[in-house]
Chains A and B, each alone.
Chain A
C-alpha cells in the first residue's frame, strides 16, 4: 500500500513538473519557409473593386486571394494595450492585416524588462518587437539589448514623425534605438453635471489650478460630496501629475525647483485642493471607472484611462486641457516607442512590423481601438467616434496653449527610472496625506532626488534648463 502511494506521488510530481515546464515560450530557430496564402482585405477607405497586381489585372469583385510577401512569425512584447479587451483589439483588428504571423503578448513593464535582459544575457531570444513607453528603453539600452534601427530612419521620412519624438528615440546617443509609434498624454475630464459649479468667469479650456480647486469647493459646498478625483493608488499615475503637471506649472521645471519657495507654495496649494478630492483617491487606478460610477465628477488621468467614459457616455462628459499655474501649463506628452531586441529571431519581420504600424490606416485603427494618438501626420477626425474626437481636441488645445510647458518623462536615469517616481509619490504621501512639514519633507526628499541624479549623472531634461553634468536642485 505504501508503495502504491509512493508511486502515485511520484507520478503526481512528474505531472506537475511537466505542467510547469509546458508553457515556456518556444524559441523560434528556423525561418518559416512555407508560403501561406493570405486573404488580403480590401482597403476600407478606397472602395475599389479592382486590385492591380503588377501588370495583371484581376477583375474579381470585393475579395482577391493573392500571395503577398510573408514575413513569418513576429512576436511582439508590449507593455501597452495590456487589458484583455485591448489585447484582443490588437490581435483581432490592428495587427490583422500584417503580412505574416504576428503574436501579441501583453506584459507588465518589469516582466518585459526582465525577459529582454535575460534573453540578451542568454544571447538567444524569442521576442522580435517591443512596444513600450520611452522610460523602458534606457534600461534596455544600458544593457546593450537593443538593435540599432538607424538604417530604418530614412525609409520612414514620409511618415512625418515629429523630429523631437525621433530624437527621444535616440536615448541621448547618435543611434536610433526606438521609433515612436503612438502617443498619449494626460488631460482632464468632467461630468456635465459639474459644469454649473464652475467658478464665475472661468473658461473650462483655460482654467488655472486655483480655479479647479474653487470648482471642487463649489461642488462640495453644493452637494456635500468631494467630487474631484486623482489616480493616487499604487496602480494610478499620480506621480505623472506631480512631475509633469503641477511642478512645472508652479516652478517652471520638474526637478531643479523641487524644494524652492515656489515648490513650497505649490504643495500648500495641493494640500488645500485635496480637501475637495474624494478621500478614496488612494484606491483609484483608472479614473474612467469613478467618472462612470459618478463617484467623482472632475478627474485628471491618462487619455487611455479616461477614454471608456467618453466612449460609453459621450453625452455625459467633457474633456478639457489640464489647468495652468503661475509658470505656465505644464503637461506631459507620453511617447510609446517600438524597438527590436538584439536577440530577435526574425529582425526582418520585426522591421516590417514597424513599417506596418506606422501606416496611416493602422495609426487610425490604433486610435480607434485603444485610444492612443497617431505620431504620424495622419488626419483622423473623420474616422473616429465622438468620444475620441473630444479627447483629441483637448489634447490639441493643451499642446497648443500659449502657456504650454511640455515636460518629458524622466530621461537618463537608466535602470533607476522608477525610483524618481517614488520620491515624488513619497513627497505627496508625506505632505498631503500625512500632513508632515512641507519644508522638512522637501529637504529630505530633495536630498534623495539629488543623490539619484548624482548617482546616475543624469543631466537636466525639459522643461528644466539644460545642465552640464548631473542635474542640480536649486
Chain B
C-alpha cells in the first residue's frame, strides 16, 4: 500500500540520525560557544571578552603567524599536490603504488606528525645528528629556539608533509573524472603539454580545486597540534591561544571568542573562494 509515500519519507528518515548527531554534537555546542563568547555571566550581551582577546599581548602575534602560515603553506601544498597528481595520472609504470605512497601521511594524526618532526629538528634530533655526522656542523644547531625563523620553517615543512596528501587525493579524483576526449581533441589541434594543462586540465579541475582549497584553508586556520608539538610555547597561533585560554588560563569566554573568530575567518575565506572560483554551469555540463 502507499509505496509512493513511503518512498518519499525514506530519505528523511535515513537522514534523521545524522541530523540529530550534527545538531547535538555540532550545532548546539556551537550556539553555546557563541553564547560564551558574547554573553556575560549575568546574561547581557557584551563585547568585553572580544575586546579582552584583541587587547591581549599574544593576540596580534598569533594572528600574524596564523595568516603567515596560511599564505606560506597553501600555495606550496597546492603546487606540490598538483605536480604529484599529474605525475600519478600520467600513466607511468608503478604510478599505482605511488598513489598509496603519497596518500600515506593522511593516516598519520597531526600530533604524531608534529612529534615526528620535533624529533627531527630538536637539538639532539636526527637532522643535527646527520649534519654533524657529515661534518657540516661541529655542534648542534638549535632550530626550535624562540622567535627564530627556523621554527616557522619547521612548522611549514611539517604541515606541507602532513597535509599535502589530502589536496593530492582530491585532485587525483578530479583528474580521473576528466574525459580523455578533451585531451585528445586538444592534441589534434596541436596543443602542447603546457597548453593542455592551462586550457583543459585546470579549468576542468576547477570544482576539485575549489573543494581542496576550501578544505585546506579552513584546516590551516585551525592549525594547532603540529605547532604545539614542534615549538611548545615558542610560536603562538589562533587555535593554540584558544586552547591555552581554555585549558591553562581557564577563561572559557575568551577561549570561545577565539573559536568564534576562527569560525568567522574560515567562513569569510570560504566565501571568497566560492566567489573567486565560481564554476559556470556549462563547464560542469561536460
User: How many chain A residues touch the partner (CB < 8 A)?
Assistant: 43
A276 to chain B, nearest CB (A): 14
- Which residues of B from 248 to 274 have beta carbons under 8 Å from A? 248-251
Please, which residues of chain A bring their CB within 8 A of the CB of B167?
none
| CB nearest to A432 among chain B residues | B146
- Which residues of B from 114 to 131 have beta carbons under 8 Å from A? 118, 122-124
**Interface pair B14/A10, CB less than 8 Å apart:** yes
A393 to chain B, nearest CB (A): 30
**Interface pair B10/A280, CB less than 8 Å apart:** no
**Interface pair A283/B139, CB less than 8 Å apart:** no
Please, which residues of chain B bring their CB within 8 A of the CB of A113?
250
- Check A58 for interface membership: any CB of B closer than 8 A: no
| CB nearest to A114 among chain B residues | B252
| CB nearest to B20 among chain A residues | A17
**Interface pair B11/A280, CB less than 8 Å apart:** no
Query: A13-B21, A279-B146, A282-B231 are known contacts. Are A295 and B123 too (CB-CB below 8 A)?
Result: yes
- Which residues of A from 405 to 441 have beta carbons under 8 Å from B? 415-419, 421-422, 425-426, 429-430, 433-434
Distance, CA A279 to CA B237, complexed state (A): 20
- Check A234 for interface membership: any CB of B closer than 8 A: yes
Of the candidates B17, B57, B58, B228, the one whose C-beta lies within 8 Å of that of A17 is B17
Please, which residues of chain A bring their CB within 8 A of the CB of B247?
108, 110
Please, which residues of chain A bring their CB within 8 A of the CB of B58?
426, 429
Q: Is the interface of A mostly helix, strand, loop or mixed?
A: helix
Distance, CA A380 to CA B124, complexed state (A): 37
Please, which residues of chain B bring their CB within 8 A of the CB of A293?
124
Please, which residues of chain A bring their CB within 8 A of the CB of B232?
232-236, 282-285
**Interface pair A433/B147, CB less than 8 Å apart:** yes
Most A CB contacts (10 A, CB to CB) among B11, B122, B148 go to B122
Query: A417-B250, A418-B249, A421-B248 are known contacts. Are A278 and B123 too (CB-CB below 8 A)?
Result: yes
Most B CB contacts (10 A, CB to CB) among A234, A295, A415, A426 go to A234
A298 to chain B, nearest CB (A): 16
Please, which residues of chain B bring their CB within 8 A of the CB of A444?
57
- Check B149 for interface membership: any CB of A closer than 8 A: no
- Check A62 for interface membership: any CB of B closer than 8 A: no
**Interface pair B144/A283, CB less than 8 Å apart:** yes
B255 to chain A, nearest CB (A): 10
- Which residues of A from 289 to 328 have beta carbons under 8 Å from B? 293, 295
Most B CB contacts (10 A, CB to CB) among A225, A233, A279 go to A279
Query: A13-B17, A13-B18 are known contacts. Are A6 and B10 too (CB-CB below 8 A)?
Result: yes
A residues bordering B, Cβ < 8 Å? 6-7, 9-10, 13-14, 16-17, 108, 110, 113, 139, 224-225, 232-236, 278-285, 293, 295, 415-419, 421-422, 425-426, 429-430, 433-434, 444
B residues bordering A, Cβ < 8 Å? 10-11, 14, 17-18, 21, 57-58, 118, 122-124, 139, 142, 144-148, 228, 230-234, 240, 244, 246-251
List of 10 A-B pairs having minimum Cβ-Cβ separation, nearest first: A233-B232, A418-B250, A279-B145, A282-B234, A283-B232, A418-B249, A422-B249, A234-B233, A13-B17, A282-B146
What are 17 A-B interface contacts by the 8 Å CB criterion? Answer: A6-B11, A6-B14, A110-B246, A225-B139, A233-B233, A234-B233, A236-B233, A280-B145, A282-B231, A283-B230, A284-B232, A285-B232, A295-B124, A416-B251, A421-B249, A422-B249, A434-B147
